Amino acid sequence: MPLLFAVAALSGAALAFEILVMRLFAIIQWHHVAYMVISLALLGYGVAGTFLAFTKEWLKRRFDLAFAASAALFALSALASVTVVERIPFNPLEFGWDFDQQLNLAALYLLLALPFFFVASAIGLSYSHLTREIGGIYRADLLGAGLGSLAIIGLLFVLDPEDGLRAIGALGLIASALALLGAKGKGRLAGFACLAPLLALVLLWPGALIAPTPSEYKALSLALRVPGAEIIAQRTSPLGRLDLVESPTIPFRHAPGLSLASRLEPPEQLGLFTDGDSMQAITRFEGDLERLAYLDMQTGALPYHLLERPKTLLLGSGTGGGIWLARLHGAASIDAVELNPQTVELVKDRFAAFAGHVYEGPELSVHIAEARSFVQTTQASYDLIQLSLLDSFSAAAAGVHALNESATYTKEAFEAYLARLEEGGLLAITRWLRVPPRDALKLFATALQALEARGASEPENQLALIRGWKTTTLLVKNGAFEADEIAALRRFCTERWFDLAYYPGIEAGEVNRYNLLERPYLYLGTKALIGPQAQSFMGNYKYALEPATDDKPYFGHFLKWRALVELIGLRAKGGLALVEWGYVILLATLALALAASAVFILLPIPFLKRAARSRSQGPSSEGPGFARIAGYFFALGLAFLFIEIAFIQRFTLFLGHPLYAVAVVLAAFLVFAGIGSGFSQWLTKEAGGPSSAGYRGRAIAIAISGIILVALAHLVALPPLIESAVALPRAAKIALALLLIAPLAFFMGMPFPLGLSRIAHDRPALVPWAFGINGFASVISAVLATLLAIHLGFTVVVGLALALYLSAALVFGRAR
Amino acid sequence: MRARAGFLWVIGLLLFSVPASDVCADDAYAGDAYADARAAMVREIEGDVRATARWIGKGELDPRVMEAMGTVPRHEFVPESELRWAYANRPLPIGYGQTISQPYIVALMTDLLSPGSDDAVLEIGTGSGYQAAVLSRLVGEVYTIEIIPELAASARKRLARLGYQNVAARTGDGYYGWEEHAPFDGIVVTAAAGQIPPPLIEQLKPGGRMVIPVGSPFLTQELVLVEKDAAGAVTTRALLPVAFVPFTRAPE
């Protein structure tokens, strides 16, 4: 039936649009802003439910045309909203200073909510109109969304975001055409007559109007201001847009944290920007390693002064600076691990000659993988595992990483790194030094706990920490540090005017000499962390120093509530600079979503009540009340995404690359839930007739029991299963992931259509309202899941999801 | 809108009434329309300094610095669209991805240089020219270099128009400093960078001071003070411009 295809196409287009807008905003602004904007724009889904509650009778009478018009409006508004949004002078950096920015932000939400509003209007209307097909529509909705997400992730490797956006518009128009097939007479003709020019408009929409331009404050924009600087290569993928910049008149000279004792200037460099920020440099190499000696004047060079020709693993090899440093010190072998294949391609192929063929050599192996997964999978062992400093300082400074899940810096990750070290080998981690200190102390605490978990009896003898004026480097040794190593460490620091912060036996007199902090924070902090008062020290410290774990993988989250309150009090006196914006934005997003949901959910209730009274014939006054309906659909909306998000996180590590995880897990959930929904349709059609309310109630109870049982089994069995299957080839891992997700998703696809078809039967006027509530809950869910995971962990998020499913079954699963 | 247009008109009138030659520009502004706003800004800076006294090591800044802050017409250095914020204690956009720092931060940075009346000071990153104008009232010679040609040109014109005659400005690469006029008693590097160019450290006199604001645009997170002692040894000091201690209680 064409309408089901129309629903699938439209739903796919909407999900693709969501992912694409995230990408666009990550290029224009920063990804935490992208996250907020898209979360709130999705409120358009919920608002459509409210809108339909008022208008559905009128729209139902011209269903096919209304659907087709909504789909066409989606297509148009998708392109138009992006066009306008890119011209709003929104500058999140001024957010704390300037009230106008808040108005700009509100305009962004409203504009981007439009396309979602139109999609949800079309789909919500289908549920109200074709009440006997609810299971089938939901199946089409989910399958379409699943395929849409897979398609856009694939397409973003080959298409520019602009072309991706045009394709999404076209898909929306295809959905519109499919719906028109069901219409009759003049309307149908007129509809098709409109679609042809619309298609031309969408396909010919000027790229210049929708191409993302990075904010003028991003590093790429600043670099391009320099006379003569230009982009000489560009790559785009779902992992980010890469811009390679040549700056012939004023060189980049990228050498973060370079020692003040150094007189060395880096050779010519090309700047590689990811999403317009986070610069790395490709350094010209013409055979003279001496020209690269400046690399040895950074804190990250420390481990090479303690080891002889180490077998080295570089996690995050990027543009290859770490490889040169390893070669400078004659590393016996180098395994270079990099997440982004396009980065490696640029350095290894296109600019190989410039880069001195850095990615080639008999001692070097290159691996495209996520750092942690690589370590988890490899059987090799190393003398040195080096974690590079790849994120930009300004991004780190503004706390935009607070929401980044990262399996790289968790306690379990440290255990995995340590397990791959040879006896006496070193793990070296370099980070930006932020004042007041955060990262370095959290890393230190994480290393301590990991060492303890591996049974070290005196972990404090296996750690060393140094700092320059801008960076810190932590060493964790597989074994206790020896006197000659400590001598080498002190020599390294003295020659470079770096400060000692910790080594076994450090004295108060030798810290805080070259780069003075108001107090020797790192020395005092590390000393407290190895002492008996570690817990109370962490409790009293104003930043969160508790190590990240796989269950709470937020290394970048440092903010404590009481510090936030204090800093906002100090906002005009410099406090704004210390606020962690990623987290604040998360809170603001949640608050706004809650407020909007409350308004739009409550708004139509009096109207719906009146409508129900005036048409009190039939079963309409007998079904479940407003509170039960709201409770049921709100709980389902929260729970579905809680589980989905938790599983994406679980499988990221397993599948080895975040893109595979998002694509596989998202698609698997949507597709198998779609199949479950189709099954529920079959169940209710079989049942039919007057007993169906009770029948559906039982079906809901069974489906939710299924969800709870399978999810509980996952909580228990998944970690060991994943552990034992981690070394399988990727195809087998993907198959296993699908197999594991299928039964859970199958059951999860059932409660929504079963509940909705029950309402369609008992109280049809409330169908769009219920649909809208589910939409609001989904938006809140995505934001809330992150907040809960930061503070309580993903296990709790899954547990809460199950409690929500259980309560949904209790309010709705009974026959009456 | 109407009030703003009125403002602009007054400013325009004032501009044209500035005597062209030997009178120092600042005197022309002694009774200008912004005098009250500027005085309020100075009081606010004094308040912020007192509130952060423990962190910056003093309860008040050098009175000469405060006097300069109270004289330099900041509204001349901000774009028209930001005029209403000219004397607000906040950073402002000046175009080209650059900002003019928060007055409190400018005062703090200037004070950290311990400017002496015969000093030669080098600034990397002219921006709008505001920092150079403040410095010009305090030291003998100011040399300022800007990388973005458009900003450099407009700042040079502005500084000349306002009569800051002891400021030399040029466009170009700040990495190598300004060899002909080196060494310097003070250097301000307002360009964001993960490194301090070695030539700048070389061009710092023994006993000289260099100040580097660190952070993202609009948000100065810390000020790094680089000091070179008489023997040429270099130390840095990270100063937080906000009254915030991470330790609730001192660890033992």
**What are the tens digits of pLDDT across the range A104-159?**
888 888 899 999 999 999 999 999 898 888 889 999 999 999 999 889 988 988 88
Residue-range domain boundaries for chain A = 1-214+582-613, 219-283, 296-556, 631-816
Superfamily of domain A296-556: Vaccinia Virus protein VP39 (3.40.50.150)
Q: How far is CA A227 from the centre of its chain?
A: 36
Residue A486 has pLDDT above 80, yes or no: yes
Q: Does A258 touch chain B (CB under 8 A)?
A: yes
Minimal CA separation from A146 to chain B, in Å? 39
C-alpha torsion angle, residues A433, A437, A439, A441 (rounded to 10): 120
* Region B239-247 average pLDDT: 73
Helices (H) and strands (E) in chain B, counts: 9, 9
Structure-token pair, residue A80: 């138009």
Residues of A in contact with B196 (CB under 8 A): 258, 260, 469
Q: Does A100 touch chain B (CB under 8 A)?
A: no
Counting Cβ atoms within 10 Å, is residue A126 exposed (0-12), middle (13-18) or buried (19+)?
buried
Minimal CA separation from A29 to chain B, in Å? 13
Contact B57/B243 with Cβ under 8 angstroms? no
Packing angle, helices A751-762 and A692-725, rounded to 10? 170
**What are the tens digits of pLDDT across the range A354-385?**
999 999 999 999 999 888 889 988 999 999 99
Residue A476 has pLDDT above 70, yes or no: yes
Contact A751/A704 with Cβ under 8 angstroms? yes
Contact B148 A257 (CB under 8 A): no
Minimal CA separation from B10 to chain A, in Å? 25
Confidence band (pLDDT; 50, 70, 90) for B200? very high
3 state SS of B141: strand
Contact B118/B92 with Cβ under 8 angstroms? no
Q: How far is CA A162 from the centre of its chain?
A: 22
Cβ within 8 Å of B, A 404-443: 434-437
The DSSP-derived string for A418-464 is HHTEEEEEEEEEEEE--SS--HHHHHHHHHHHHHHHTT-S-GGGGEE
Residue-range domain boundaries for chain B = 18-239
CA–CA separation, A239 and A340 (whole Å): 7
**What are the tens digits of pLDDT across the range A693-738?**
677 788 899 999 999 999 999 988 888 888 788 778 888 988 999 9
Distances (CA, A) of A16 to A150, A171, A502, A764: 8, 10, 49, 31
CA–CA separation, A88 and B234 (whole Å): 46
Nearest partner of A298 among B104, B213, B195, judged by Cα: B195
Fold (CATH) for B18-239: Rossmann fold (3.40.50)
Minimal CA separation from A312 to chain B, in Å? 26
Confidence band (pLDDT; 50, 70, 90) for A805? very high
Contact B73/B162 with Cβ under 8 angstroms? yes
Q: Does A568 touch chain B (CB under 8 A)?
A: no
Contact A435 B238 (CB under 8 A): yes
Confidence band (pLDDT; 50, 70, 90) for A166? very high
Give the type of residue at A546: E
Contact A518 B89 (CB under 8 A): no
Residue recorded with tokens 């102390």:
A441
Residues of A in contact with B96 (CB under 8 A): 216, 225
Structure-token pair, residue A309: 């020709």
pLDDT, greater one: A324 or A91: A324
Contact B201 A260 (CB under 8 A): yes
Q: Does A531 touch chain B (CB under 8 A)?
A: yes
pLDDT, greater one: A250 or A1: A250
**What are the tens digits of pLDDT across the range A640-650?**
999 988 888 88
Residues of B in contact with A436 (CB under 8 A): 240, 244-246
Contact A394 B217 (CB under 8 A): yes
Nearest partner of A123 among A756, A640, A630, judged by Cα: A756
Candidates A226, A298, A469, A516: best to mutate against B (most CBs of B within 10 A) is A469
Q: How far is CA B169 from the centre of its chain?
A: 14
Q: Does A517 touch chain B (CB under 8 A)?
A: yes
CA–CA separation, B4 and B167 (whole Å): 32
What pLDDT sits at residue A339? 87
Phi, psi of A311 (to 5 degrees): -75, 115
Contact A394 B215 (CB under 8 A): yes
- The residues, any chain, with a CB within 8 Å of residue A794's CB and separated by 6 or more, are A551, A552, A646, A649, A650
Contact A801/A642 with Cβ under 8 angstroms? yes
Residue B5 has pLDDT above 60, yes or no: no
Minimal CA separation from B242 to chain A, in Å? 5
Say if strands B120-124 and A230-237 run parallel, antiparallel, or are unpaired.
unpaired
Residue A529 has pLDDT above 50, yes or no: yes
* Among candidates A225, A255, A514 on the partner chain, residue whose Cβ is nearest the Cβ of B96: A225
Contact A570 B242 (CB under 8 A): yes
The residue in chain B having the minimum alpha-carbon distance to the alpha carbon of residue A219 is B97
Minimal CA separation from B20 to chain A, in Å? 33
Contact B93 A91 (CB under 8 A): yes
pLDDT, greater one: A410 or A585: A410
Distances (CA, A) of A109 to A40, A310, A381, A531, A641: 6, 53, 50, 50, 21
CA–CA separation, A487 and A744 (whole Å): 57
For A446-450, B14-18, B59-63, which range has the lowest pLDDT when averaged over its residues? B14-18
* Among candidates B85, B195, B217 on the partner chain, residue whose Cβ is nearest the Cβ of A256: B195
Which parts of A688-728 fold into alpha helices (H)?
692-725
* Among candidates B51, B93, B236 on the partner chain, residue whose Cβ is nearest the Cβ of A573: B51
* Among candidates A91, A250, A525 on the partner chain, residue whose Cβ is nearest the Cβ of B173: A250
Residues in chain A, total:
816
What pLDDT sits at residue A2? 86
For A680-684, A770-774, B38-42, which range has the lowest pLDDT when averaged over its residues? A680-684
Minimal CA separation from A425 to chain B, in Å? 29
* Among candidates A537, A541, A566 on the partner chain, residue whose Cβ is nearest the Cβ of B244: A566
The complex's ipTM works out to 0.84
How many other C-beta atoms lie within 10 A of the C-beta of residue A74?
A: 29
Packing angle, helices A134-158 and A751-762, rounded to 10? 140
Residue B211 has pLDDT above 90, yes or no: yes
What pLDDT sits at residue A398? 57
Contact B52 A434 (CB under 8 A): no
Residues of B in contact with A398 (CB under 8 A): 216, 219
Confidence band (pLDDT; 50, 70, 90) for B11? very low
**What are the tens digits of pLDDT across the range A610-637?**
876 765 544 444 567 888 999 999 999 9
* Among candidates A221, A513, A572 on the partner chain, residue whose Cβ is nearest the Cβ of B89: A572
B154 is catalytic: no
Confidence band (pLDDT; 50, 70, 90) for A396? low
Phi, psi of A76 (to 5 degrees): -65, -45
Residue B252 has pLDDT above 60, yes or no: no
Residue A502 bridge partners (DSSP): A465
Phi, psi of A513 (to 5 degrees): -105, -45
How many other C-beta atoms lie within 10 A of the C-beta of residue A19?
A: 22
Contact B234 A93 (CB under 8 A): no
Residue/partner pairs of A343-347 with CB below 8 Å, 24 or more apart: A343/A242, A343/A272, A343/A280, A343/A318, A343/A319, A344/A317, A344/A368, A345/A235, A346/A233, A346/A235, A346/A242, A346/A244, A346/A272, A346/A282, A347/A282, A347/A319, A347/A320
What pLDDT sits at residue A666? 86
Residue B173 has pLDDT above 60, yes or no: yes
Residue A403 has pLDDT above 70, yes or no: no
For A522-531, A644-653, B14-23, which range has the lowest pLDDT when averaged over its residues? B14-23
* Among candidates B51, B215, B248 on the partner chain, residue whose Cβ is nearest the Cβ of A540: B248
Residue B132 has pLDDT above 90, yes or no: yes
Residue A269 bridge partners (DSSP): A283
Residue B120 has pLDDT above 60, yes or no: yes
- The residues, any chain, with a CB within 8 Å of residue A311's CB and separated by 6 or more, are A331, A332, A333, A380, A381, A382, A383, A384, A422
Residues of B in contact with A496 (CB under 8 A): none
* Among candidates A434, A437, A515 on the partner chain, residue whose Cβ is nearest the Cβ of B236: A515
Contact A225 B148 (CB under 8 A): yes
Residue B6 has pLDDT above 50, yes or no: no
What pLDDT sits at residue A813? 59
Class of domain A1-214+582-613: mainly alpha
What pLDDT sits at residue B14? 37
Residues of A in contact with B236 (CB under 8 A): 260, 469, 514-516
Residue A477 bridge partners (DSSP): A426
Minimal CA separation from B196 to chain A, in Å? 7
| Contacts across the A-B interface (CB distance below 8 Å) | 177
Cβ within 8 Å of B, A 487-516: 497, 513-516
In the set B17, B21, B81, B101, the catalytic residue is B101
